[in-house]
Amino acid sequence: MTNIPLNQQFQPTATAPSGPPASQAGEDDIIDLGQLFATIWRGKWIIGLITTLAILAGGYYAFVAAVPLFRSTAVVMLETKQESIVDLQSVVGGLTGDTSEVNSEVEVLRSRGLIGKVVDRLDLVTDPEFNGNLRPVSLVDRGKDEIKAALGMQKVEIILPPEEQAKRTRDSVISELLEQITIRNIPLSLVFQITAETESPEKSTLIADTLVQLYILNQLEVKFEATEQATMWLTGRVAELQVELEIAEVKASEFSTSTDLISIEALQVQEIQLKDLRERIGNADGTADSAATKEANLSAATSRQDQALLANDVQLNRLLPRVADNEQMAQAFDTRFARVLTRAKLEATRAKQQLLALRNSSQEMEAQIASRGQELITLQQLTREAEAVRLLYEYFLTRLKETSAQQGIQKADSRILSNAVVPSSAASPKKPLILAMSGILGLMIGIGLVLLREARNTGFRTARDLELHTGYTVLGQIPQIPARNRKKVLNYLADKPASGAAEAVRNLRTSVLLSNVDTPPKVILSTSSIPGEGKTTNSLALAQNLIGLGKSVLLIEGDIRRRTFKQYFEDIPSKGLVSVLSGDQTLEEAVFNTPVLGADLLVGDKTSTNAADLFASDKFKELITEAREKYDVVIIDTPPVLVVPDARIIAQIADAVLFTVQWDKTSKHQVDEALRMFHNSNQRITGLVLGQINSKRMKQYGYGGRYGAYAGYGAKYYTN
């Protein structure tokens, strides 16, 4: 019979996988809640164990390890409306109650200065609960120190002066106390809850009450200090203003006595007089001009008629008619005119002198008024300065008296609503809550570990998963055969032909024979990725089943390195396949038959030659050709693909290649790598066998009610 290469003779119904189908990708995006719950249910013992351990750990912490802490709370409220005992303006105003002030008061309650006062008053520096230096070194701390010392990380101790060491100790106690105190503002109110949590109920109460008392006392101290500082400042300022007032008054008095200063009213009278004087000057100026003009006209007159007319004198007018006729009258006229002219000159001179005198008086009065006006302004300025200093002095003096009076009547901005109460039971640890949280945490960790284990599982649990991943058809699904050892496997299949395992082998046989209807395979190769996947058992079971059809079968042990057939049969001959290939024996001489199997066996024997070289030889091909002619079916059990290349060499002359995958164990990576090696050799797999299926665990995984022969209804057809 002519050997036809495998890749030409049998082609698988599916091609090599290039990626998951679109339907599978869509299904991967959907969470199967039933499968999820089934996974969790399968790990119920792990979940229960971890949950129990978590509860025990939580119980140990709550009832043994944890130190009971007692919590006590004092309540204080801010006073935004304060009644004044006296109607005096306060140096420090009250609180308005807005958000910023409420938050500020919370920070005041948490301030290190106020907490430091609590530490000092209660002498918490000597309390081991707050001073870590007074506590004995725990085993954990001692272990940490030893580890650091072993790693060369031991802390170098620095010797500090006693004052600095005491300061650092006090600071650490303050920090420790801050961690044990909680300040809470009740929303939409001015009420604060001050809670202290310590190992002693009395200590918690004492700390909360002391903090509230010191907080209120601190408010009084702040106001008292502010009032005292204001009083001291006002006292100094009043003394300064008193000196300034005395100096200003002395300046005004000395200036007033050093000048001939008149009042404003007298100065106004002088101004009226100056106005009258200026009017008189105007009149005198007119009179002087008239007199000068008259004197000039009289002096210029040459005729007696003009002289008489200009002089307007009665006597001259009476003498004028007689002047012409009487010389004596003419002389009398001239004498009279001379007198009139002399009188006119005297009047002009007197008017001029009077005008000059009035002008001099006016200038003197103007200068006097200007000088006295400037002096009056200076006096008024000095007087105003003295008055301003007096007003400022009187204001500060009044404020000093008010501030001094307030020192004894200051009132705090807060009041205690309720003092802390000694707690009757510990606030922590909350044992029921710890147990509940421990149980929930253990449950979550247990579920997480179960899901993580499930996610890390890369095995195949269904034929569909294996087909979708590889692209090859699963020809058979073989369950675990309930035999005590490998020698009992064939006995079980022979004794229980109606069992589920026997039916699974029959399904595999049928699938193999129908893989190529026109030319059923005669040389069948059985292999796997790694050892222990059940390929040898499948080969034996398939040979036994083919014998049941009346076919002649030769089973060749191709794994001559391990030679596992001796684990299934007794009295195996020492010579076999290698002897036939070397020519020491013929095929008929080397084979032996066992009643349990019914088929002829050609076992492997020891050789120093490399097995791959033997299978690649022409003699091995001739042996297979001879076996084809003598037997209906030749089954070759080969080594794992990932271990040695024997299977790929033998596959070149095989008609069908069965690739066994152990259920829920063989990883996807191992299967992919083995198939890749076949593909690199341009070889294809006829079909896959999912072996060693655990039907009980398969039901636990959620496939028991719907997965073919391993569903619940399948048990009615089998006699196991």
Q: Residue 524 maps to which CATH number? A: 3.40.50.300
**Does residue 367 share a domain with residue 465?**
no
Reply yes or no on whether the pLDDT at 91 is more than 70.
Answer: no
555 with 702, same domain: the answer is yes
Beta strands in 491-564 (DSSP E): 523-528, 553-557
Considering the domain architecture, whether residues 472 and 394 belong to the same structural domain is answered as no
| CA-based torsion, 336, 337, 340, 342: positive or negative | negative
Assess whether 475 and 587 both reside in one domain: yes
Residue 108 and residue 224 in one domain: yes
Q: What is the pLDDT of residue 14?
A: 38
Tell me the pairing of strands 633-637 and 553-557: parallel
In whole angstroms, what is the distance from residue 471 CA to residue 604 CA? 33
Provide the token pair at 563.
Answer: 């030679």
pLDDT for 628-648, tens place per residue? 999 999 999 999 999 999 999
Claim to verify: residue 449 and residue 500 sit in the same structural domain: no
Nearest Cα to Cα of residue 555 among 618, 636, 437, 648: 636
With 80 as the cut, is the pLDDT of residue 157 above it? no
Q: What CATH number should be reported for the domain holding residue 74?
A: 3.30.1890
Q: For 221-230, how does the pLDDT look when each residue is reduced to its tens digit (9 = 90+)?
A: 888 787 788 8
Assess whether 508 and 435 both reside in one domain.
no
Q: State the Cα–Cα distance between residues 703 and 390, nearest whole angstrom.
A: 107
Residues 453 and 41 sit within 8 Å (Cβ to Cβ): no
pLDDT at 2 over 70: no
Judge contact between 503 and 452, C-beta under 8 A. no
Q: What confidence tens digit (pLDDT) does each residue in 330-341 have?
A: 788 778 888 888
**Position 29 in a domain:** no
Structural domain of 357:
264-406
* 450 and 529 share one domain: no
Whole-number pLDDT of residue 694: 85
Domain boundary, last residue among 418, 442, 468: 418
Confirm whether 278 is domain-assigned. Answer: yes
Asked whether 400 and 236 are in contact (CB, 8 A), the reply is no
- 3-class DSSP assignment, residue 417: strand
- Give the range with max mean pLDDT: 2-6, 19-23, 423-427: 423-427
Q: Specify whether 559 is located in the same domain as 694.
A: yes
Q: How does residue 347 score in pLDDT terms, banded at 50, 70 and 90?
A: confident
Task: Return phi, psi of residue 572, to 5°.
Answer: -75, 135
| pLDDT at residue 376 in the model | 77
Which pLDDT value is given to residue 156? 63
Q: Is residue 237 included in any domain, yes or no?
A: no
Question: Do 526 and 622 share a domain, yes or no?
Answer: yes
What residue type is 233 in one-letter code? W
> Which one of 392, 418, 444 terminates a domain?
418
Determine which of 256-270, 357-371, 444-458, 494-508 has the lowest per-residue pLDDT on average.
256-270
The residue ranking higher by pLDDT, 285 or 477, is 477
What is the maximum alpha-carbon separation in the chain? Answer: 222
Is there a domain that residue 657 lies in?
A: yes
Q: Does residue 14 fall inside a structural domain? A: no
**Rounded to 5 degrees, what angle do the CA atoms 299, 300, 302 make?**
105
Tell which wins on pLDDT, 507 or 486.
507
Is residue 551 exposed (0-12), middle (13-18) or buried (19+ Cβ within 10 Å)?
middle
Domain count for the chain, please give it: 4
203 pLDDT more than 80: yes
Asked whether residue 159 is domain-assigned, the answer is: yes
Instruction: Please tell me the predicted confidence (pLDDT) of residue 270.
Output: 73
Within a domain: 239: no
Burial class from Cβ neighbours inside 10 Å (0-12, 13-18, 19+) for residue 690 reads buried
Asked whether residue 518 carries a pLDDT value surpassing 90, the answer given is no
- Does a structural domain hold residue 203? yes
Is the backbone of residue 594 left (phi > 0), alpha (psi -120 to 50) or beta? beta
Residues 389 and 500 in one domain: no
How many CA atoms are closer than 13 Å to the CA of 30, on its beta-carbon side? 8
Across the range 665-688, mean pLDDT stands at: 92
| Cβ neighbours of 663 (radius 10 Å) | 25
CA distance to 121, 382, 449, per residue, from 40 (Å): 59, 102, 10
Are both 344 and 474 inside the same structural domain? no
SS3 601: strand
**Predicted TM-score (pTM) of this structure:** 0.55
